[in-house]
């Protein structure tokens, strides 16, 4: 398959089942909602070293938030359901509670699994906190020096997908970065998906384990490292001298598929030789996103 001169390799991205929560952070202005969201999603690129993966899903207008103020939607994922509530309590408590003018609401109200985030954070009020029930949802008002911090008592959790990906194989670093930036800009408009790495782009793709160091969980993807072409079993075609990866997490498989489709299409531009994906032979992750099926518009997962 060729898209505007770019080869789409006949392979698949291998992804994992994760647990996901969606947070709606609002503020007096878009700036303050985003400030809190940026801090909350900091150092959350990979569960390998960060314990969770998180990112901004999209910015929200006043009409789309629970309190009618500007907001930001955030997705946060962990590998297991036991650790997700702790990550939320830590991050909301340290980044949203502390941020001027903000409030924090559950973005998955229909999810059956409920996590006691606000219920735990209420203790910061030291007995001065107060609760209010609106409909079937309970909120906590915590007194702070600025006024009050409003947080929902429980947050929904559901199964999500982490590790959807595609690799951009380009003739040089400039072409790779321009293609990656175009892909990120297009994916930003897709609901239900985040790109957890800096600017949505990964330069240090990894493989499982190590050839030399037994304690390493992941090490450099030498097969796609141009400077190692002569000393390893390289997978790089001739003319490829730079590779960047786009990693996607989402609320479900269709969200990942849709985002990969538009992202790959946007990355097919001058200087890009091929698009491929990272997998481990289908042995580690149950979600397999086949690139050519995605680009044909058919069912992408195996």
Domains and CATH numbers, the chain: 2-15+159-296 (3.30.70.520), 19-158 (3.30.70.520)
pLDDT of residue 284: 78
Query: Taking 70 as the threshold, does the pLDDT of residue 186 lie above it?
Result: yes
Average pLDDT over residues 80-103: 98
pLDDT of residue 298: 65
pLDDT of residue 128: 98
Decide: pTM greater than 0.75: yes
Helix then strand then coil, % of the chain, to nearest 5: 30, 35, 35
pLDDT of residue 23: 98
pLDDT of residue 208: 87
Strand 272-276 and strand 6-8: pairing? parallel
pLDDT of residue 213: 94
Average pLDDT over residues 234-239: 95
135-147 per-position pLDDT tens digit = 889 999 999 999 9
65: three-class secondary structure by DSSP = coil
Q: What is the DSSP string of 78-130?
A: ESSTTTHHHHHHHHIIIIITTSTT-EEEES-TT-SEEE-HHHHHGGGGTT--E
**147 Rama sector, left if φ>0, alpha if ψ -120 to 50, beta otherwise:** left
Of the candidates 153, 83, 87, which has an alpha carbon nearest to the alpha carbon of residue 125? 153
pLDDT of residue 300: 60
* Average pLDDT for the chain: 96
pLDDT of residue 93: 98
pLDDT of residue 301: 57
Average pLDDT over residues 261-277: 98
């Amino acid at each position: 398959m060729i898209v505007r001169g770019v080869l789409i390799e006949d392979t698949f991205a291998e992804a994992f089942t994760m647990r996901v929560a969606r947070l709606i952070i609002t503020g007096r202005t878009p700036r303050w909602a985003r400030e809190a969201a940026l801090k909350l999603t900091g150092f959350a690129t990979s569960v390998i070293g960060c314990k969770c993966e998180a990112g901004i899903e999209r910015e929200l207008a006043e009409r789309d938030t629970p309190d009618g103020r500007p907001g930001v939607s955030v997705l946060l994922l962990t590998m297991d359901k036991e650790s997700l509530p702790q990550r939320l309590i830590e991050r909301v408590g340290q980044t949203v509670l502390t941020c001027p003018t903000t409030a924090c609401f559950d973005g998955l109200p229909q999810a059956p699994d409920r996590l006691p985030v606000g219920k735990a954070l209420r203790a910061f009020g030291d007995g001065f906190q107060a609760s209010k029930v609106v409909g079937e949802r309970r909120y906590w008002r915590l007194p702070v020096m600025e006024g009050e911090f409003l947080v929902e008592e429980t947050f929904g959790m559901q199964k999500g997908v982490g590790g959807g990906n595609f690799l951009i194989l380009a003739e040089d670093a400039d072409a790779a970065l321009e293609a990656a930036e175009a892909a990120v800009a297009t994916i930003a408009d897709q609901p239900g998906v985040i790109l957890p790495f800096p600017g949505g782009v990964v330069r240090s793709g990894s493989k499982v384990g190590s050839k030399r160091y037994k304690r390493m969980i992941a090490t450099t993807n030498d097969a796609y490292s141009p400077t190692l072409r002569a000393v390893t079993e390289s997978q790089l075609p001739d003319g490829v001298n730079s590779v960047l990866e786009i990693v996607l997490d989402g609320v479900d498989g269709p969200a990942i598929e849709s985002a990969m489709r538009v992202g790959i299409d946007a990355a097919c531009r001058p200087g890009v030789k091929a698009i491929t994906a990272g997998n481990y032979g289908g042995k580690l992750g149950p979600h397999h996103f086949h690139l050519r099926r995605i680009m044909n518009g058919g069912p992408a997962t195996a």
